[in-house]
Amino acid sequence: MSASKSTSSRGLRLDAYLSRAGLASRREARILIRKSQVCVDGEVCRDAARRIHSETVTLGEETVESPAAHVDFLMHKPIGLACSHDQRESPLVFDLLDGALARRDLEIAGRLDRETSGLLILTTDGDLIHQLTHPTRKLPKRYRIQYKGELAVDAVEQCQAGILLGNDPRPTRPAELELQGAGKATLVLREGRTHQVRRMIRALGGEVVGLHRDRVGNFILPDDLLSGDLRPLDPGGRALLLSDKSL
């Protein structure tokens, strides 16, 4: 059974219910529940783990509208933001969210490092995160690279064969490198090791000076989605994300 079906049959936890309704973060919701500000079917509920099915939930005097089962967004991540909830790593991708959206229980499916821009998926759906990031899926992700230095003459062949990176015991999975003129290339990966693109280019003799992810699966970052903006992901886009056809 998928995670989404399982959640539907068991109901949402009360703290998640409030978060997905955009009324509070999960942490804030637990505080409200402990302070007896949340009622279920007219009775005060202090159990954040209580599962909500068709019950009426109220916060103070206001009835909480039943949240959508899951929400998905795509974002054009700018350079300089961390994919983290930890304020010690500020500024964060989540700082771009405001209003009710900032209080939703959103997580990132496939992070980018601070100095990488491009396509990010934010979702409340743990099953989607699993499908996009689990190593067995081998979903392709395309990166636009700017680099300095000279790459090895057989760089394309090395990527296809796999490269040993530092102390990694296994070579990288076959990857597709396309050289596009002086200092420019694209690289399609089907795995996600830490700083993998930068490490691969370094192993080939270059140094990445600009990195941008523009494709996941068969979904391409829309040209009209400006840096720092986000929008809801429709079902068609979700299907393209999960498509593993060759790029």
Q: What residues act catalytically?
A: 113
Closest CA to 190 of 168, 220, 159, 212: 159
**With 0-12 CB in 10 A as exposed, 13-18 as middle and 19+ as buried, what is 16?**
buried
Cα–Cα distance measured from residue 239 to residue 223, given in angstroms and rounded to the nearest whole number: 19
Packing angle, helices 3-10 and 126-133, rounded to 10: 170
Q: What is the DSSP letter of 92?
A: B
17-50: b (≥16 Cβ within 10 Å) or e: bbbbbbbbbbeebbebbeeeebbbeeeebeebeb
Cα–Cα distance measured from residue 117 to residue 181, given in angstroms and rounded to the nearest whole number: 21
List alpha helices for 123-215, DSSP H.
126-133, 155-161, 196-203
Tokens 């933001």, residue located: 81
